[in-house]
Amino acid sequence: MYIISACLLGINCKYSGGNNYCEAVKNIAESHSHIAVCPEVAGGLPIP
């Protein structure tokens, strides 16, 4: 199981309301068990 930053999977959870989508990370997520986590949200920061 992998823990993957949600913004790398294309989820708009960054401070700017955007993401840091990465095709390579998405490919790994599609073929392995994973949990998407946003460290910024987990730390209590808001999403615009």
Does residue 28 sit within a domain?
yes
**Total count of domains within the chain:** 1
Write down the pTM of the prediction: 0.85
Confidence of residue 11 (pLDDT cuts 50, 70, 90): very high
Quick: pLDDT tens for 16-47. 999 999 999 999 999 999 999 999 899 999 88
Question: Would you say residue 31 lies in a domain?
Answer: yes
Q: How would you write the chain as a 3-class SS string?
A: CEEEEHHHHCCCCCCCCCCCCCHHHHHHHHHCCEEEECHHHHCCCCCC
* Residue 16 domain boundaries: 2-36
